[in-house]
Amino acid sequence: MKTLTSHEIEEILRSRLPENSLLDVQHELPQPSFTLQAEALVEACTFLRDDSRTYFDFLNCLSGIDSGPESNRLGVVYHLSSIPHGHRIVLKVWTSRDGKNPIPSVAQIWRTAEWHEREAFDLVGIPFSGHPDLRRILMPDDWEGHPLRKDYENPESYHGIQIQY
Amino acid sequence: MKTPLTSGPQKVELEYADLLQRSSAYRTRLQDLQSEEMVLNMGPQHPSTHGVLRLELVTDGELVMDVVPHIGYLHRCFEKHAESLPFPQIIPYTDRLDYMASMNNNLAFVMTVEKMLGMKGKIPKRIEYIRVLVAELNRIASHLVAIGTFGLDIGAVTPFLWCFRDREHILKLMEWICGARMLYNYIWVGGLFYDLPMGFEAQCEAFVKYFKPKVAELNRLLTENSIFVQRTANIGVLPRDLAISYGCSGPVLRGSGLKMDLRRVDGYGVYPEIDFEVCIGKGEMGALGDCWDRYKVRVDEIEQSLKIISQCLEKLTKEHKRTAEFDPRGLCPPKVRPKAGEYYGRAENPKGELGFFIVADGRSDIPQRCKVRGPSFSNLQVVPAISRGVLIADLIAILGSMDFVLGEVDR
């Protein structure tokens, strides 16, 4: 049981992943974060979970983020922790807002990602590829738009019911 | 087997044969029934779904072949609201996430914001002890609801009444502290709404003294009750690796035998100074990780919470006494504006790991993103995986043992 620093995790990850797939690394405490290329995400996550040195067996949280129309990007943030080792790391993946470049799903690696990804799809509108059951989860199935987008406009009516704000 | 009225061995044999024939006919009929699957809706107004949860059951006779949870009936747009409110104004909204344990929600959110402001470690000890005290009181109240309704779900009415009677004492204490029974808004960024009222420590001490025998009583009534054990032991066995993969936390994960408690792992607040044990399931009545184990973890945690409360009260009456110049709002910043950045803060709620992921831009006092990781959300997700092939009545037991609150699942 050895708690690794973010520098050590970076070294392990760099030795394993293809060149240039680690886009950005922030070592600032309290929460160091790695930004990955979307194509390398599944490989990196599988490796981080299975390797005995890192062993990130617990996906704490998966959040979808919209940075707004100006920056034109959507992000997914993964908070991982290792129960036996006790270290934690943040992974980030970015995609464009048009929905043409889906982010690979990690639901096969951590089952908890299944609902979290459905939520990110529902509220932020992030497309995931390879997800077993990508449906809306919190909003009604016939809802239009994704409420947590920065340019989302509140609907005036729903099924003919006027909504007053 | 009753002795037949018409005596003679031949007659008895005939009766047996008849019985066998009839039962085999019954079995054939049951098989006919089983050949057809039926979709059954459980909820959203079913009392044992603990709120507005709809489960789509694929049943085969009495067997549950598959469960598809449909959630979102209680969606109140917490994250959307949070993106338009200053940080202190979000605290009342966090009350409504897990409305059975509002103090713990307040604490988790406030700790996250304080960490972003760089205030960690600067909070006076008296405030920290009061926070832990009220959080543990609320944990007991939440577990009492979990235990009571779990018993009620599978047919035991008395424990429910006993639990709610004792929970009422806690709610009265809470009302005395902050004026509200369930939705407190008591813990503020940098401090507290009020100091403890005069004489509270003595009343709380009296409650602990009153409540300790009641826990033993509850154990005698429910924990070792053979009907209860038969309904819960070996039902809904959740293996540890499955629990970890599904992101389960709190009593659900500990019920599967893993010593994982964020109060110990992260050691936030004054928990490192407090002596308590992390309770885990041991598989005493059946397989490790069954409904009974999850239930037992909660009962044990109530006793540990009482221990924590006693230690807090001792500190609050001796070392960190109430003084005239003590101001619980003294450190509350007039404007909460964290530096640009993001932080994921977590705390151990009665239901498990409650996390807040906050993104701040540093220019405004409104978060750019405030994502909630509710423990019930992940705990509910595992239900289909452990419910395939159980009886419908056992599914009720599994749901009760998960102890989720839909306010937190749907947010």
**pLDDT values of chain B reduced to their tens digit, one per residue, 411 residues:** 344 444 444 444 545 555 555 555 555 555 555 567 788 888 787 766 777 888 888 888 788 888 999 998 889 889 988 988 999 899 999 998 888 899 999 999 999 999 888 888 788 888 899 999 999 999 999 999 999 999 888 888 899 999 999 999 999 999 998 888 888 889 988 888 888 888 899 999 999 999 999 999 888 888 888 888 888 888 888 888 889 999 899 999 999 988 889 998 888 888 998 999 999 888 888 888 889 999 999 999 999 999 999 999 998 888 888 887 888 888 888 888 888 888 999 999 999 999 999 998 888 889 989 999 999 999 999 999 888 888 888 888 998 898 888 888 988
- The Cα B228–Cα B233 span in angstroms is 8
- Which chain B residues are closer than 8 Å to A136 by Cβ? 72
Q: How high is the pLDDT of residue B19?
A: 54
- Which chain B residues are closer than 8 Å to A57 by Cβ? 244-245
Residue B141 to residues A57, A77, B398, Cα–Cα distance (Å): 32, 34, 21
Beta bridge partners of residue B151, listed in sequence order: none
- Residue B227 host element (H or E): helix B226-232
For residue B309 the two structure tokens come to 């409360």
Contact B83 A123 (CB under 8 A): no
Q: Report yes or no on A65 lying in a domain.
A: yes
Q: How high is the pLDDT of residue B2?
A: 41
- pLDDT above 90 covers a percentage of chain A that reads 23
Q: Vertex B256, ends B252 and B258: CA angle to 5°?
A: 95
Query: Closest to B344 (Cβ–Cβ): which among A61, A83, A138?
Result: A61
For residue A163 the two structure tokens come to 């909504």
What CATH number is given to the structural domain containing A125? 3.30.460.80
Q: Among residues B254, B260, B362, which one has the least CA distance to residue B299? A: B254
- The Cα B353–Cα B347 span in angstroms is 6
Closest CA of chain B from A111, distance in Å: 5
Q: Report yes or no on A122 lying in a domain.
A: yes
Whether residue B164 lies within 8 A of chain A, CB to CB, comes out as no
Is a pLDDT exceeding 80 seen at residue A29?
no
ipTM of the prediction? 0.90
Is a pLDDT exceeding 90 seen at residue A96?
no
Q: How high is the pLDDT of residue B10?
A: 47
Determine the residue of chain A that is closest to B375 in CA distance: A60
Query: Closest to A139 (Cβ–Cβ): which among B72, B353, B369?
Result: B72
Mapped onto helix, strand or coil, the DSSP state of residue B112 is helix
Contact A60 B260 (CB under 8 A): no
CB B405 within 8 A of CB B51: yes
**Residues 6 or more apart from A8 whose CB is under 8 A from it?**
none
Q: Report yes or no on A1 lying in a domain.
A: no
CB B284 within 8 A of CB B219: no
Q: Which of A123, A133, A138, A158 to mutate to test the interface with B (most CBs of B within 10 A)?
A: A138
- Which chain A residues are closer than 8 Å to B342 by Cβ? 31, 77
Determine the residue of chain A that is closest to B406 in CA distance: A138
Give the predicted TM-score (pTM) of the model.
0.87
CB B128 within 8 A of CB B229: no
Q: How high is the pLDDT of residue B17?
A: 55
Q: How high is the pLDDT of residue B50?
A: 76
- The Cα A35–Cα A14 span in angstroms is 12
Strand order in the sheet with B54-60: B38-42, B54-60, B63-70
Q: How high is the pLDDT of residue A116?
A: 92
Whether residue B260 lies within 8 A of chain A, CB to CB, comes out as yes
Residues A106-150 pLDDT 10s: 988 999 999 999 999 999 989 999 888 888 899 888 888 898 888
Domain that holds residue A115: 6-162
Q: How many CB atoms lie within 10 A of CB B80?
A: 16
Rounded to 10 degrees, the C-alpha dihedral B43/B45/B51/B52 comes to: 70
Whether residue B97 lies within 8 A of chain A, CB to CB, comes out as no
- The Cα A126–Cα A74 span in angstroms is 7
Residues A5-19 pLDDT 10s: 878 888 888 888 887
Q: Vertex B266, ends B264 and B270: CA angle to 5°?
A: 70
Q: How high is the pLDDT of residue B147?
A: 92
Q: Which domains does chain B have, with CATH numbers?
A: 70-410 (1.10.645.10)
Q: How high is the pLDDT of residue B26?
A: 52
Contact B245 A57 (CB under 8 A): yes
Structural domains counted in chain A: 1
Contact A58 B381 (CB under 8 A): no
CB A66 within 8 A of CB A74: yes
Query: Closest to A61 (Cβ–Cβ): which among B80, B245, B371?
Result: B371
Q: How many CB atoms lie within 10 A of CB B380?
A: 26
Q: How high is the pLDDT of residue B1?
A: 39
- The Cα B198–Cα B221 span in angstroms is 36
Amino acid at B375: P
CB B247 within 8 A of CB A58: yes
CB B245 within 8 A of CB A110: yes
**Residues 6 or more apart from A68 whose CB is under 8 A from it?**
A150, A151
Q: At what angle do helices B291-317 and B392-402 cross, to 10 degrees?
A: 20
